[in-house]
Amino acid sequence: MIIVGAGAAGLVLAAELRLAGVRPLVLERQPQRREVARANGLGGQIVELLRYRGVLERLEAAASPVRAAPSLPFGGTQLDLSRLAEPAYYALGIPQPVLERTLAEYATELGAEIREGHEVVGLREDTAVTVDVRGPDGPYQLTARFVVGCDGGRSRVREVLGVPFPGTTYPEVNRLVEATVPDSVRRNGDLDVPGLGLLRQGFTRTDSGVFAFGTIGTDVLLINTVEQETTEYDDLSPMTEAEFQASVRRVLGVPLPLGEVRRLSRYQWQGRQVPEYRVGRVLLAGDAAHLLASSGASLNLGMLDSVNLAWKLAAAVHGWAPPGLLDSYHAERHYAGSRALLQTSAQAALRRGHDPAADALRTLFQELLTDEQPLHRLAAAIGGTDLRYPAPGSDHPLAGTFARDFPLTTDEGPSSLASLLSPGRPVFLDLADRPELRAAAEPWAPRVALRTAKTALRPADALLVRPDAHIAWAAPLDSPVDPAGLRDALAMWSGAPEGAGNRLTTDDHQE
């Protein structure tokens, strides 16, 4: 198994494959990791999934604790989540280089191999996939049953496959810094800019663009300019402080006094998605499959692609994947990408207008956000927590949704659903002492963790939860249920039971 690209999506895929008993090789073209942070944190469903795997604690140790986000940017406006009775969006503030270093350490500890400075320059598929690599010691070839391109928005894998990448490149440039500002400029969370006056935290529109800022921690500001511009910049070309200050002058008309500058980055928005996430034995994930037209979703979306894909690829490698399992990766994650593209494209439309009608739209939009329901809906859309996959054969309201954690009491003592899912295996959980359901699930015991527990927060009599924490099947509370439905769901997601001709091994495979 070869993964092309050692960004967050590729590293999560490598770790998840190791949990599933497959030894992946990760090829990264850069000889060393870039220290420029293109993203500054994670939020929404991926944060919960990382907690289930037991990885969140080490990410917090490397950066900062997870917190309930008090607000979120949305298309040049702010979603004030502090008004809600319960948190709607949890975020982890972590610079992308720190995230990737920590994930690389985790994947390596699990047994994944990462080769930096090894660039994939070509590939071709027959009964397997042959990959042409340019390494530090010269060119060489590798062969694998499957290859996954996690190599970013300018994916070489996607290019070699000839997969189209339709969508829009928006004619605007975002420039961003993390920096302190002198005490003389700060005014109770706002900025008193010499030669201009008071700027409120959030978004300020001028005839030349948008200036925005918010706080990170106690003394650091995240400061952003947006200008209409058609220049295409090389992602590897760093932005300087002088370039940022020149942008501030164009937008505000005056420079902005800065103290210590901790991050400088420049980026352009694109809204794109490939029509197919799978082409034979080659698959695409992360930015190689989709680019989003706004911040706050792309990194999360790509990592969730990898969690969805890994256990399905492992099933194919181990030889027990049921028909259609690997194809369900495209069906589910293309849908997830389409949803993310929908809300980020809406943000692009909302933020890009600069006439009175656009101002009226933003004003009306902010008025709608004084109601709790729209706030919850938008926060869920940004975080991906509103996603529900199709669950054939189960009409339970929970089927297809992400399994929320809840406390359990087992024969071994206190536990939780999250702890049961930490090994990355599917779980059948009997919460109401249903022996007929346990008997139906027993033939799948070599692949599915069968557990019995009690809870005061029983959402169903029994749950079948996939490795990616989505519920495949649920038994209604205190109601008779045909075990055949459970058996069908087990066969759909975990293959034929023992003795039906499929291998049930979990031994490591180098593919």
Q: What pLDDT sits at residue 159?
A: 97
Q: What pLDDT sits at residue 218?
A: 72
Q: Note whether 320 and 182 are within 8 A (CB).
A: no
Q: What pLDDT sits at residue 217?
A: 67
Taking residues 141-147, report their average pLDDT: 97
Point out the domain boundary residue: 253, 268, 283. Answer: 268
176 and 104 within one domain: no
More confident residue, 176 or 429: 429
Residue 255: inside a domain: yes
Taking residues 477-504, report their average pLDDT: 84
Q: What pLDDT sits at residue 498?
A: 66
More confident residue, 40 or 345: 345
Q: What pLDDT sits at residue 36?
A: 67
268 pLDDT higher than 90 = no
Per residue, what are the HEC states of 465-485? Answer: ECCCCEEEEEECCCCCCCHHH
Can you list the positions of beta strands (E) in 294-360?
none
Q: What pLDDT sits at residue 309?
A: 98
Residue 194: inside a domain: yes
CATH number at residue 468: 3.40.30.120
Taking residues 150-176, report their average pLDDT: 94
Give the model's confidence band at 345: pLDDT under 50 very low, under 70 low, under 90 confident, else very high.
very high
462 and 500 within one domain: yes
More confident residue, 430 or 218: 430
How many distinct structural domains can be found in the chain? 3
N residues, the chain: 511
Q: What pLDDT sits at residue 37?
A: 64
Residue 396: inside a domain: no
505 pLDDT higher than 50 = no
163 and 175 within one domain: no
Residue 388: inside a domain: no
215 pLDDT higher than 50 = yes
506 pLDDT higher than 60 = no
Give the model's confidence band at 272: pLDDT under 50 very low, under 70 low, under 90 confident, else very high.
very high
Taking phi first (over 0 means left), then psi (-120 to 50 degrees means alpha), and beta for anything else, what does residue 280 get?
Answer: left
Q: Note whether 407 and 457 are within 8 A (CB).
A: yes
User: What 3-state class would DSSP assign to 4?
Assistant: strand
Least-confidence region, from 216-225, 420-429, 492-501: 492-501
Q: At what angle do helices 8-19 and 298-318 cross, to 10 degrees?
A: 30
- Pairwise CA distance, residues 167 & 289, whole Å: 12
pLDDT digit string, tens, across residues 285-332:
999 999 998 876 889 999 999 999 999 999 999 999 999 999 999 999
97 and 149 within one domain: yes
160 and 202 within one domain: no
Burial of 360 (0-12, 13-18, 19+ CB in 10 A): exposed
Taking residues 236-245, report their average pLDDT: 87
340 and 223 within one domain: no
Q: Which domain holds residue 373?
A: 2-69+79-167+271-383
Taking residues 200-210, report their average pLDDT: 89
Taking residues 434-440, report their average pLDDT: 97
The rounded mean pLDDT for the chain is: 92
Q: What pLDDT sits at residue 507?
A: 45
Q: What pLDDT sits at residue 21?
A: 97
**What pTM did the predictor assign?**
0.91
Give the model's confidence band at 499: pLDDT under 50 very low, under 70 low, under 90 confident, else very high.
low
Taking residues 478-492, report their average pLDDT: 94
CATH number at residue 238: 3.30.70.2450
Taking residues 122-128, report their average pLDDT: 93
pLDDT digit string, tens, across residues 57-84:
999 999 989 999 998 888 888 899 999 9
Give the model's confidence band at 391: pLDDT under 50 very low, under 70 low, under 90 confident, else very high.
confident
Residue 391: inside a domain: no
Taking residues 185-203, report their average pLDDT: 90
Count of CA atoms in the C-beta half-sphere (13 A) of 231: 9
132 and 7 within one domain: yes
Identify the residue whose tokens are 């055949």. Answer: 484
Point out the domain boundary residue: 218, 239, 268. Answer: 268
Identify the residue whose tokens are 């593919």. Answer: 511
Taking residues 338-360, report their average pLDDT: 90
178 and 145 within one domain: no
> What does each C-alpha distance from 193 to 134, 182, 449 come to in angstroms?
51, 10, 60
Taking residues 445-471, report their average pLDDT: 96
Taking residues 331-349, report their average pLDDT: 95
* 191 token code pair: 């900025």
350 and 207 within one domain: no
Taking residues 239-266, report their average pLDDT: 92
Q: What pLDDT sits at residue 195?
A: 93
166 pLDDT higher than 70 = yes
110 and 28 within one domain: yes
φ, ψ (nearest 5 deg) of residue 92:
-120, 115
422 pLDDT higher than 60 = yes
109 and 25 within one domain: yes
Residue 390: inside a domain: no
Q: What pLDDT sits at residue 483?
A: 95
User: What 3-state class would DSSP assign to 173?
Assistant: strand
Among residues of the chain, what percentage have pLDDT more than 90?
76
Sequence-distant (6+) residues with CB within 8 A of 476 are 396, 460, 461
Q: What pLDDT sits at residue 504?
A: 42
392 pLDDT higher than 60 = yes
Q: Note whether 45 and 385 are within 8 A (CB).
A: yes
